[in-house]
Amino acid sequence: MAANQVLIEYELCFSDKDAPQRSSVGKMIVPSPLRHSSTMYSRICVGLLAAAFGLICSLPSAASEQSAPAIGRQREAVLFWPQAQREVQFRRMYELFPSDRAAHGTHVHALPQGKPLALSEQDGSGLLASYMDQHHLAGVMVLQGGRIRLQRYALGFGPEQRWESFSVAKSVTSVLLGIALQRGDIHSMEDTLGTYIPELRDSAYAKVTVQQLLTMTSGVHWNEDYADAKSDVAQMYLGTCVDGQAHIVTYLRKQPQQWPAGTHWNYNTAETDLLGILVQRATHRSLAAYLSQTIWRPYGMAADAYWIKDECDGTDTGGSGLSATLGDYARLGQFMLDGGRIAGKPVVAKAWLEGAIRHQENVDEPGHGYGYLWWTDSDGSYAAIGIFGQMVYVDPSRQLVIAQVGAWPHATSDELVAARWAFVAAVKRAVDAEGDRSAH
């Protein structure tokens, strides 16, 4: 930054009488009248009704400088970023927030080019471009038999760049737990959380088992509404740090029991952060370091990945925060398709693998279920899924992997989810059509 420039860290707040306040944070470099470069922070609040007629923004003066918002508050603001900011910043999350690196090695698991997959005439030749454009997707890759059948990038995103995975990270955390089980770092899925996280021994989580955490059946109260600024998922990182404990430990200690443990499925990002803490304490490594040691290097990922850290205790957050290239997300799906094996050797526990990708709990979507932090389908396929359009989909019967990253206009919606499954179905039809033609 030049001496005649100033770095402004800003928070934009949006509110009206019918909606809770939302905010987004960011940085910009602008010309400065000051003699030396400096950093200033400003909070600009804008009513949505006024914004409907046009938004006029002005740069703050140096007199408005104050301390920047805490990292946790900035992370929560991501849920309410405007579309343009999502499309630009989802590829830079590991630069915006403190992160640990999952280093790749010298060996790269090759993804050779296969025969281009022709989507059927019924779906239209422009299906992929239309699908990506309408839903603000940055990249889609389809592998079959370990070969690239389909690949497309958009939004200025490219093969060398990384993209935030959101809840795809949950499934990766689950895989790391399966590896820790195989190595004996975690003894059993019947172990209780209090065994590994003693700070929870006086909470509703004291007797919750690892398996109940994996299936999101702790029975502890939780609200995962991404559009509600007062929901638990929008509040969990907002508090101040207490006694060096992770945000989520402090937050969950106060949560009441709502159902008997093991009886009710309730989607809960915080519990996967807990799972991440459990894995890190059991292995004495960060999630990023363990990922590098057990999968990223030995399987042959092509680029480093990054995992966002909690600001209070420095642990990697197991429920989100992993950034990787589209190609490496596809390799992750191929690793699962290979049965969690590297060079023919299983690296995840058999008991974990048997439960992870098979139906354990019913969910709200007909035909879909939940395994160990992996979404399951009735046809034997399974997926790691994140808000705003992230996905790693695995179909063993067709030897198929579909990876996509994007910036949906909403965290999730019935329409967006339906479009995603429609695209998956179109890919399957195209693959099946090839088989039908070869049979004749």
What confidence score (pLDDT) does residue 60 get?
40
Are 416 and 410 within 8 A, CB to CB?
yes
Average pLDDT for consecutive 10-residue bins of the chain (440 residues)?
48 43 47 40 38 35 50 94 97 98 98 91 71 97 98 98 98 98 96 94 95 96 95 94 94 96 95 97 98 98 98 96 98 98 96 93 85 95 98 98 98 96 95 74
Are 252 and 270 within 8 A, CB to CB?
yes
β-pair type (99-102, 39-47): unpaired
> Domain limits of the chain?
1-58, 99-439
What confidence score (pLDDT) does residue 44 get?
38
Residue type at 31 in one-letter notation: P
What confidence score (pLDDT) does residue 163 get?
98
Provide the token pair at 136. 């603000």
Spatial CB neighbours of 98, under 8 Å, sequence gap ≥ 6: 71, 308, 309, 311
99-439 classified as CATH 3.30.360.10: no
The span from the CA of 407 to the CA of 86, in Å, is 6
Distances (CA, A) of 153 to 51, 149, 332, 408: 32, 14, 19, 15
